[in-house]
Structure 1
Amino acid sequence: MKPPLSKLGHRRELIRQFTPNWFTMTMGTGIVALALGRTSELLPILWNLGATLWVINIALFLLFVSMYCARWIFFFDGAKRIFHHSVMCMFFGAIPMGLATIINGFLVFGIPLIGERAISIAFSLWWLDAAMALICGLLIPFFMFTRHDHSLQSMTAVWLLPIVAAEVTAASGGLLISHMNAGSSATQILFISYSLWGFSVLPALAVLVILFLRMVLHKLPGRDMAASSWLSIGPIGTGALGLLLLGTQAQRILISPDLISVGIVAHGFGILGATILLGYGFWWLVIAILTTLRYLRDGLPFNMGWWAFTFPIGVYSLATLSLADSTGIQWLYYFGYAFVSMLIFFWYVVMGSTLRGAYHGNVFFSPCISDGTGLQLPSKSEKQKVNL
């Protein structure tokens, strides 16, 4: 039997090859934890399972932050190449989105476990998350405009990752406000969250239009990017969830005479807007399922991109259940629970494959330091050592 990490050659490669796409693992694990907490009315033990996964997710996030910081410290020349890589650069958006699931966990699981301190922690982390989401949503597209080489044929739904981070923060803001009293702080977060929603959802919808055109003209992407088709559901599901959460809280928070009517409109707009978005998302969901079945027929090799199977369907399921709460339509609950079941199945498969790949070391690969053929290019400091 081959020893652990045998394909890396040396344990230091764990750091040298570590990339931000590992934070999609925290996104997927975090959304499963939240979905379990949301469906605990069906089976109380689901809350305990969700809380356990949330704690594990915190540990994973801290581990990944430590590993990525270590890469910048010890392998700076290689780490900085990510800003010129047209695909891996997109995964910076996974960092604030992974953090958002932890913030929401403090509100869902943290309050029963550690009391009101959880709200204060979530409040502080939310501002950090908002700042990171804004930076990703502005800086990464600017790099796309100025540094990267892109074409319509090479485009995938991965383009959405840095843009969607802000709307995930917006939806998290809606959940945070639900634990705050009406006042200036809650009102401030409410309007900032709506701004973050527009900052993210509207550009994301534009990207989806381009993605549709790309698939019509150039067909499906390669097998290595097969799971990326599920990413198109993410901004739609998160956008719907954000409208519902913010609309519900707007009616409660906006109690001044000048803003009461705004809160009423926001609540109604949240329900109607979410219904429209979920219908649009269902179209992309069916396309993603058909695309995956098409790839499965020819074989679908595992890579870290498989985590795209988890977070998008997770936020879509939470949005469906939230719409069911707002409307009282019973069949929406059935759909929501079915989507949660799909999410748990995907997470189980992807987590198992990731752990096996991590054990053997074959999922640690940084294309930023590759010459495009799989050969690893030495960093500047490594070249100097060779010359010496």
Structure 2
Amino acid sequence: MNTKFLSDKSLKEIIRNFTPNWFTLNMGTGIAFLTLHNINANIFDAQLLLGKSLWLIDIFFFVLFFTLLLARMFLYPETIMLMFKHPVQSMFLGAVPMALVPILEGFAIFGPSLFGNNSLNIALYLWWIDAFLAVCVGWLLPYLMFSIQKNHKLENMTAVWLLPIVASEVTASAGGMLAPYFANPIAEAILMVSYILWAFSVPLAFSVLVILFLRLVTHKLPDKAMAVTSWLTLGPLGTGALGLLLLGHAAEKVLIGTDLENIATFLSNFGLIAGLLLWGYGLWWYVMAWIITLKFFKDGLPFNMGWWGFTFPVGVFTAATLQLWQATGYDIFKYFSIVLSIQLAIFWILVFTKTLKGMWSGYLFHAPCLSPETGLPKPEEECKKFSKKNK
């Protein structure tokens, strides 16, 4: 076991090895406090306080990670191209806009009681920024996969491919939550853009799921270090269902009195039916993820930041289940959402604890794209090329 403490690790070394997969901590923590809020049971007085506390903790880590990422870009710009070229590490750039979504939703949910009504404007500004980042990532990463990235073979493919694609639909679901807080024309603009973002993401995610199924059939299960990626399949399906449900509900409020008022009921009904279908598709992958995980548990799963895949996908699937319960009144969704919430809580506590230990020891600060064992050009060679170009 690595006994070297973070205090003994150079700050420059931490910055140079900082990777965007740290933002998955924000995704997991964010969906944890949103789920705590969404159960809306008010069972105990500390529920609201705990939700706010987790939100503030999430903001702290997001600011810290974003600062470290910017520091790496400015202090070690030669390593950024290495990250872009890495076939796995680059995918986690999609985690950046997804990590921001729970934070901006927190400004709408918890912000008014702490910062006043200006918190809603902050949430709105952050949403537009997030939409821009999600679209950029959704275009940039596939292009890099098409052009400069190597080692993309069917046998190497995992559900990590979904990360840059799913970011836009996560932003779309946030738009469905946020739109009713505002008056028109702002609310209508959020609603329309959110539907576009949903379409920007979900159909492409379906394509990746089809390829993933083919890869699993032809090349069997991935290495145990990538076993947790099986849970990522819940991301586009859970978020896709959640997005349509929230947008349909928002449409009934936002489109009243507009030229599109006559389709408000249709969008609500469509959100329910399509959301239910996507949820059913997600249920298949949920059971399969459990089967795959239990198989690998026998062999032992090495801890890495990929373990945060246990949290966010389950969280959005839980949120979609809660929305289906509210829309249908069927108790089966209520009871299943409770089971999912308990699972999410257990996973979050386990992964958060292990992450803090790994952060303190320093061993989690390791950038695979800077390792000579990646199969990519050696980092020192790339750095020399960068230096020559910028002399």
TM-score with structure 2 length normalisation? 0.94
User: Structure 1 residue 185 and structure 2 residue 177: aligned?
Assistant: no
Structure-2 residue corresponding to 1:246: 247
Cα drift, residue 307 of structure 1: 0.5
Structure-1 residue corresponding to 2:30: 30
Structure-2 residue corresponding to 1:95: 96
**Equivalent residue letter for 2:17:** Q
Q: What CA deviation, in whole Å up to 9, does each residue of 1:266-320 have, x standing for no partner? A: 0000111111111110000000000000000111110111010000000000110
User: Structure 1 residue 230 and structure 2 residue 231: aligned?
Assistant: yes
Structure-1 residue corresponding to 2:49: 48
SS in 2 for 1:240: helix
**8 Å Cα contact 1:34/1:108 also seen in 2:** no
SS in 2 for 1:43: coil
SS in 1 for 2:104: helix
Change (3 A) 1:162 1:48: same
**8 Å Cα contact 2:83/2:369 also seen in 1:** yes
**8 Å Cα contact 1:187/1:254 also seen in 2:** yes
**Equivalent residue letter for 1:347:** W
Cα drift, residue 189 of structure 1: 1.0
Structure-1 residue corresponding to 2:202: 201
Cα drift, residue 377 of structure 1: 4.0
**8 Å Cα contact 2:177/2:246 also seen in 1:** yes
For 2:182 and 2:329, locate their aligned partners in 1 and report how far apart those are by CA, in whole Å: 25
Structure-1 residue corresponding to 2:273: 272
Cα drift, residue 2 of structure 1: 3.9
Structure-1 residue corresponding to 2:143: 142
For 2:116 and 2:247, locate their aligned partners in 1 and report how far apart those are by CA, in whole Å: 24
Cα drift, residue 79 of structure 1: 2.6
**8 Å Cα contact 2:23/2:95 also seen in 1:** yes
TM-score with structure 1 length normalisation? 0.94
Structure-1 residue corresponding to 2:12: 12
For 1:152 and 1:4, locate their aligned partners in 2 and report how far apart those are by CA, in whole Å: 39
Structure-2 residue corresponding to 1:325: 326
**Equivalent residue letter for 2:156:** S
**Equivalent residue letter for 2:353:** G
Change (3 A) 1:82 1:257: closer
Cα drift, residue 381 of structure 1: 6.6
Structure-1 residue corresponding to 2:383: 380
Cα drift, residue 197 of structure 1: 0.3
Unaligned regions of 5+ residues in structure 1, if any?
A: none
Cα drift, residue 226 of structure 1: 0.8
Q: What CA deviation, in whole Å up to 9, does each residue of 1:226-263 have, x standing for no partner? A: 11000000010001110011001111111246422211
Structure-2 residue corresponding to 1:336: 337
Q: What CA deviation, in whole Å up to 9, does each residue of 1:318-358 have, x standing for no partner? A: 11001111111122111111111101100111111111111
For 1:383 and 1:37, locate their aligned partners in 2 and report how far apart those are by CA, in whole Å: 48
**8 Å Cα contact 1:309/1:346 also seen in 2:** yes
**Equivalent residue letter for 2:48:** W
For 1:255 and 1:269, locate their aligned partners in 2 and report how far apart those are by CA, in whole Å: 17
Instruction: Give the paired residue count.
Output: 382
Structure-2 residue corresponding to 1:64: 65
**8 Å Cα contact 2:20/2:95 also seen in 1:** yes
Give % identity.
47
**8 Å Cα contact 2:78/2:386 also seen in 1:** no
**Greater Cα shift, 193-202 or 364-373:** 364-373
For 1:128 and 1:258, locate their aligned partners in 2 and report how far apart those are by CA, in whole Å: 28
**8 Å Cα contact 1:271/1:323 also seen in 2:** yes
Structure-2 residue corresponding to 1:152: 154
Unaligned regions of 5+ residues in structure 2, if any?
A: none
For 1:253 and 1:338, locate their aligned partners in 2 and report how far apart those are by CA, in whole Å: 33
**8 Å Cα contact 1:37/1:51 also seen in 2:** no
Structure-1 residue corresponding to 2:76: 75
SS in 2 for 1:362: coil
Q: What CA deviation, in whole Å up to 9, does each residue of 1:64-85 have, x standing for no partner? A: 0111111111111123311111
Structure-1 residue corresponding to 2:217: 216
**Greater Cα shift, 33-42 or 296-305:** 33-42
For 2:348 and 2:361, locate their aligned partners in 1 and report how far apart those are by CA, in whole Å: 20
Change (3 A) 1:43 1:368: same
**8 Å Cα contact 1:241/1:315 also seen in 2:** yes
**8 Å Cα contact 1:107/1:119 also seen in 2:** yes
For 1:206 and 1:374, locate their aligned partners in 2 and report how far apart those are by CA, in whole Å: 27
For 2:139 and 2:374, locate their aligned partners in 1 and report how far apart those are by CA, in whole Å: 31
**8 Å Cα contact 1:29/1:57 also seen in 2:** yes
RMSD: 2.0
- Which stretches of structure 1, 4 residues or more, deviate above 6 A after TM superposition? 373-376, 381-384
Structure-1 residue corresponding to 2:21: 21
Structure-2 residue corresponding to 1:173: 175
1:124-139 alignment runs, 5 A limit: 124-139=125-140
**Equivalent residue letter for 2:43:** L
SS in 1 for 2:66: helix
For 1:221 and 1:270, locate their aligned partners in 2 and report how far apart those are by CA, in whole Å: 35
**8 Å Cα contact 2:368/2:374 also seen in 1:** no
Structure-1 residue corresponding to 2:109: 108
**8 Å Cα contact 1:39/1:46 also seen in 2:** no
For 2:181 and 2:368, locate their aligned partners in 1 and report how far apart those are by CA, in whole Å: 43
**8 Å Cα contact 1:106/1:118 also seen in 2:** yes
For 2:230 and 2:333, locate their aligned partners in 1 and report how far apart those are by CA, in whole Å: 24
For 2:125 and 2:93, locate their aligned partners in 1 and report how far apart those are by CA, in whole Å: 21
**8 Å Cα contact 1:320/1:335 also seen in 2:** yes
**8 Å Cα contact 2:30/2:58 also seen in 1:** yes
